[in-house]
Amino acid sequence: MITDPARLASFAHDEAAGAPYALPAAVVRPRDTGEVAAVVAYCAERGVPVVARGAGTGLSGGANAVEGCVVVSFAAMDRVLSIDPDERLAVVQPGVVNDHLRAACAAKGLWYPPDPASAPWSTIGGNVATNAGGVCCVKYGVTRDYVLGLEAVTGRGEVVRLGRRTAKSSAGFELAGLLVGSEGTLGLVTEITLRLRGERAQEHTVVGYFDDLPSAGRAVAHVVAAGVVPSALELVDRYCLRAVDEWKNMGLTDGGDVLLLARCDAPGAAGLQEADTVLACFEAAGATWSARSADPAEADALFAARRLVYPALERLGMVLSEDICVPRTLVPEMLARLERTAESNGVRIASLAHAGDGNLHPMLVVPRGDERQLARGREVFEEVVDQAIALGGTVTGEHGVGLLKMRGLARELSPAVVDLHRGIKRVWDPAGILNPGKVFTA
Amino acid sequence: MITDPARLASFAHDEAAGAPYALPAAVVRPRDTGEVAAVVAYCAERGVPVVARGAGTGLSGGANAVEGCVVVSFAAMDRVLSIDPDERLAVVQPGVVNDHLRAACAAKGLWYPPDPASAPWSTIGGNVATNAGGVCCVKYGVTRDYVLGLEAVTGRGEVVRLGRRTAKSSAGFELAGLLVGSEGTLGLVTEITLRLRGERAQEHTVVGYFDDLPSAGRAVAHVVAAGVVPSALELVDRYCLRAVDEWKNMGLTDGGDVLLLARCDAPGAAGLQEADTVLACFEAAGATWSARSADPAEADALFAARRLVYPALERLGMVLSEDICVPRTLVPEMLARLERTAESNGVRIASLAHAGDGNLHPMLVVPRGDERQLARGREVFEEVVDQAIALGGTVTGEHGVGLLKMRGLARELSPAVVDLHRGIKRVWDPAGILNPGKVFTA
């Protein structure tokens, strides 16, 4: 148990820009489910808040400590317990890092698809808490699609096993799926049974540069209409490209203003056909330059550059990052609205997007410590969230609600649905100790 | 509203053999969500039970009327409201028949995969209630995997919209997924937003005959170990084949005792490669005869024959049908246990199985009206259920719990998990009027 204030500070918050947090009263690092259950039971009896924490890479404040809380860090429960190649299952502890699991699977010819940008650091427990996505979700789905079963500790300190190890089941309510994305408000996940896939076929990369966001948006719409489901379809706008160039001098902006990166992985010749279709879509939308990349190293470098966007922007100030998701045919419309919103507010919105599934990450950079600009940026993003909702979208595609999307969620859901959330929380956590004040108000 | 006892009888039960039911007090056939909400609100105020009903093709008694209840038939809410090819979404009313939706999708070059054997009659609302599966689930997943959003009426008579239209979302609890498979105990689903796929590639069929269940089981295990994910992998045993032959004289038993039917649909040459791998697996397991079918009509006829098994057995008596699902590598072990159980109990268990995902449908035929043999059959199947649970399996892969699997479910889930079910039900249905006495005891 950690109670030294100097050390507590590093467990006080995640990476959400400007979300409130407090110093925890204590941090515990349980080694097994029994210890988790004991901590929760102790806290339930005394009404002490409990905040679960993986790697702290969240972007919504879901892992931020609240006044007087105990932070339960899963750093010491970081083992891959088993990988079964025939059943295509992995059983893991919540603290295992996403990339470590992926490597362990790859060593057995298997693949765990969800690949959030945080994969080198974020944990499966955190991925489960936020229903994390990533680049390949456009074809392969999100974390929830891979969670078959869970062990969890409820707010009463009870250990429950939910879900299954079988390919399918209709036995009772889908409680494992309910816990995925519940951000530590219903239970603390202590073990996860994950579905795996076999190794994927070779990916073919298609690169396109565009003069502006509308033409890149049209290219995305063309791909959607062509019926191709790429295994990645990422958009990086001029502000993002420039930030990476200024840092790494990669020459990304030499090709043009907006970059689209697509990958196709249908097996055999079908994959090449898909890639050629995507290329034709890029060209039809007015790409200034486009090509099917013949060099895997070059293709990987472009995807690596995409991952550098966030740290590159962080060099320039505090990055406010949105996570809206709109119906995918409305990506061009949402991009146009982002441009108008930026203009009317006199700000610069940088956009990175999982364009193929309509999940946009508009970003605003504000000078560190400038509370006025931070507040202003938040207001701009509330406008953006309203526009996403108006287009039939959602306030968070993959980051979770945490603290930062609470206002938006209250607008997305009807009061009756929020009441269902509150009722369900009372069932799992009658004392109201699990991550209180997150996602929705009590 | 129907209250004529003669007409009420046809709404009193589904197709579950030997599950208890009562005559409903009334049957209503609402035309829209407002009418559903009005009926539920009326019943909630008076404590009148409400049982939702699709086509009544269920096999667990989930739609069986209870004493004094109002049956809400969705027969008049049977429209496909929209199909959006670019978003790959369909919005439907609950009463639309599965095959009708599939045809409407196919007309637009789209595909709704879940294909229960009841597809010509069963409704999407009923499929949602039981989280229905089918033949192609082994590769393409079950109903829940295709439900993005729902409109539902809670037990308070409130209309709520759950889920999304977007490719992904982390906005609050996954309440749409919670309703899928809840068998009408939490809410009445009044509209469903479904994810679609593009038309599938051509399927290649592989047929294998085997001398006995163990060798067919080994063939399934070989396919699993080879890493091929077929788009169908069905097992039909000797008793099933004989019943169809005796009825339709199709010569199914000429080839051998146990039939495996596999399909592969990877695009292009990859599909043929997969089919050849499956063929090699069948041969390695000792198939007495096996071939990749060159004739699509012949292949379709074999799958059609598989669908005739249940009606063919029904000619012989009342069919008790199980729905266990075990980890797929344990299919051979489960088949062996079924043979031993049949032998030790002196009964004949016929087996039809979605073998590729471990979902077995053992069936017992008992003379109609013979209560003693019916009770005996039930006890034999409780043994079978216990064995499935012992192998890490589940009591129902795709039929739902209804009335017939309640005893099994209580053994599969811990008391704490059943208590979570009860608590969640109280949140959605505080008066306890929605399908009372189903799935778990109050």
Model confidence at B294: pLDDT above 80: no
Q: Answer whether B46 touches A (CB < 8 Å).
A: no
Whether B260 contacts B234, CB under 8 Å: yes
Other CB atoms within 10 A of residue B225 CB: 12
Per residue in B243-286, pLDDT (tens digit) is 999 999 988 888 889 999 999 999 888 999 999 999 999 999 99
CB–CB of B171 and A396 under 8 A?
yes
CB pairs A-B closer than 8 Å: 262
Instruction: Say how far apart CA A23 and CA A334 lie, in whole Å.
Output: 38
Mutate to test the interface with A, among B137, B173, B182, B220 (most CBs of A within 10 A): B173
Tally of CB atoms within 10 A around A31: 10
pLDDT score, position A295: 85
Whats the size of chain A, residue-wise? 442
Letter for the amino acid at A242?
Answer: R
The answer to whether the CB of A220 falls within 8 A of the CB of A235 is yes
Cα separation, A321 vs A117, in Å, equals: 13
Are residues A145 and B144, on separate chains, in Cβ contact within 8 Å? no
Query: Cβ of A414 and B167 within 8 Å?
Result: no
B318-372 pLDDT, tens per residue?
999 999 999 999 999 999 999 999 999 999 999 999 999 999 999 999 999 999 9
Give B-chain residues touching A164 at CB under 8 angstroms: 325, 394
For residue A160, the chain B residues in CB contact (below 8 A) are 414, 416-417, 420
Query: How far is residue A316 from each of residues A307, A367, A378, B257, measured CA to CA in Å?
Result: 16, 8, 18, 72
B183 neighbors B435 (Cβ within 8 angstroms): yes
Q: Would you say the CATH fold of B204-390 matches that of B80-198?
A: no
> With helix as H, strand as E and coil as C, how does B326-356 read?
CCHHHHHHHHHHHHHHHHHHCCCEEEEEEHH
Q: How far is A357 from chain B (nearest CA, A)?
A: 5
Q: Give one DSSP letter per residue of B178-211, joined into a string.
A: HHTTSTTSSEEEEEEEEE-EEPPPPPEEEEEEES
- From A160, A201, A405, residue closest to B414, measured CB to CB: A160
ipTM for the predicted complex: 0.96
Minimal CA separation from A28 to chain B, in Å: 26
SS3 A434: strand
Among B235, B231, B328, B226, which Cα is nearest to B277's?
B226
Q: Which residues contact A96 (CB under 8 A, 6 or more apart)?
A: A78, A79, A80, A123, A124, A125
Report B:122-161 residues touching A (Cβ under 8 A): 130-133, 137-138, 142, 144-145, 154, 158-161
pLDDT of residue B293: 87
| B373, amino acid identity | Q
Judged by a CB distance cut-off of 8 A, whether residue A174 touches chain B is: yes
Q: How far apart (Å, rounded) are the C-alpha atoms in residues B318 and B301?
A: 26
pLDDT of residue A271 exceeding 80: yes
Nearest-CA distance A396 → chain B (Å)? 5
pLDDT at A293: 87
Mean residue pLDDT of chain B comes to 96
- Ordered DSSP codes for A16-38: -TT------SEEE--SSHHHHHH
| Residue A294 pLDDT | 77
| B440 contact A CB<8A | yes
pLDDT, tens digit, for every residue of A425-437?
A: 999 999 999 999 9
Q: Does B391 touch chain A (CB under 8 A)?
A: no
Looking at this protein, which amino acid is placed at residue A385? Answer: V
- Which chain A residue's Cα is nearest to B392? A165
Query: How many Å lie between the alpha carbon of A372 and the closest alpha carbon of chain B?
Result: 28
CATH number belonging to the domain at A201-311, selected among 3.10.350.10, 1.20.140.10, 3.40.50.11810, 3.30.70.2190: 3.30.70.2190
Task: Confirm or reject contact between A414 and chain B (CB < 8 A).
Answer: yes
Mean pLDDT lowest for which of A297-311, B1-15, B39-53, B69-83? A297-311
Structure tokens at B193: 């937003």
pLDDT digits (tens, 9 = 90+) for A10-61: 999 999 998 999 999 999 999 999 999 999 999 999 999 999 999 999 999 9
What kind of architecture, by CATH, is found in domain B5-73?
Answer: 2-Layer Sandwich (3.30)
Average pLDDT, chain A: 96
Contact B180 A174 (CB under 8 A): yes
Q: Which CATH superfamily is domain B204-390 in?
A: FAD-linked oxidase, cap domain/gating helix (3.40.462.40)
Calculate how close chain B gets to A124, using CA atoms only, in Å: 15
What is d(CA A239, CA B407) in angstroms, rounded to the nearest whole number?
61
Name the helix (H) or strand (E) containing A111.
Answer: strand A110-111
Q: How many CB atoms lie within 10 A of CB A436?
A: 18
Domain boundaries, given as residue ranges, for chain A: 201-311
A232-261: average pLDDT: 93
Residue labelled with tokens 């299954």:
A164
Which CATH number applies to B80-198: 2.40.37.10, 2.60.40.1510, 3.30.70.360, 3.30.465.10? 3.30.465.10
Read off the amino acid at residue B273. Answer: Q
Shortest distance, CA B339 to any CA of chain A (angstroms)? 22
Contact B359 A225 (CB under 8 A): no
Is beta strand B204-210 parallel, antiparallel or unpaired with respect to B197-198? Answer: unpaired
Asked if A106 reaches chain B (Cβ–Cβ under 8 Å), the answer is no
